[in-house]
Amino acid sequence: MEPNFTEPPNNDTPKETKKSSSVLPKLEIMIIGVFFFSFLIWAASKCSRTKTKYQEMAIEAQKEDSLLKIINQELTKPIKEIEPEELVEQTAAVSERITPLYVTVENLNMRDKPSRKGKILARLKLFDEVTFMDEVTDFKEEISLEDLTTNEPWIKVQTEEGTIGWVYGAYVEYYKTKLQTELGGATSSSNN
């Protein structure tokens, strides 16, 4: 029998294979780790944006709820009854409101009493502003100016200078307008 010579195993080759095979898993683990780490960063930022969005929505919902509560509180409050004294005060405040009127004819006579026989206190020019003093005569008087005949009451007014007197109601208006007669305009002087 022949001696059996077997070569001892070559340890160099397997060692190199082990080294290269051990490097490959390390590289794979590092790549997987980088992807995993990148995924975590992306997910955290996405969650943070979503969380912020939900917080903003919650704040808006709270605002709406608080507005609804306020509205409901206002609607459920009992209606305040107005005392007679308060009503008189409110009425007085309304009656103190100034109502401007404008003269619609040139040289309108302001008189001391509501009549053409009253003493002339002032002559008002066209478009002069006077303040209505909340007094009107119970009677009406018919006055003709050129071809225009009117039947109006007398009105108590105050001038900007403070003179208080009466003017014929047809010759003052709430707006600055010139009284038009059939002949094309108002006369330069009125006898009222």
Show which of 49, 78, 107 is a domain's final residue.
78
CA 110/CA 131 separation, integer angstroms: 13
Note whether residue 138 is domain-resident: yes
Domain containing 68: what range? 14-78
**CA gap 187, 40 in Å, rounded:** 95
Lowest mean pLDDT among 1-5, 103-107, 121-125, 165-169: 1-5
Please indicate, yes or no, whether residues 104 and 169 belong to a single structural domain of this protein.
yes
| Residue 11 pLDDT level (bands cut at 50, 70, 90) | low
pLDDT band at 186 (very low <50, low <70, confident <90, very high): very low
112 plus 163 within the same structural domain: yes
How many domains is the chain built from? 2
Asked if residues 174 and 138 have their Cβ atoms less than 8 Å apart, the reply is no
63-83 confidence digits (pLDDT tens)? 777 777 777 776 676 766 666
Q: Which two tokens stand for residue 85?
A: 């004294």
**How far is it, in rounded angstroms, from Cα 182 to Cα 56?**
73
Q: Is there a domain that residue 154 lies in?
A: yes
Q: What is the mean pLDDT of residues 85-113?
A: 76
The answer to whether residue 8 is domain-embedded is no
Q: Decide if 176 contacts 145 (C-beta within 8 A).
A: no
Residue 118 maps to which CATH number? 2.30.30.40
| Residue 156: per-residue pLDDT | 94
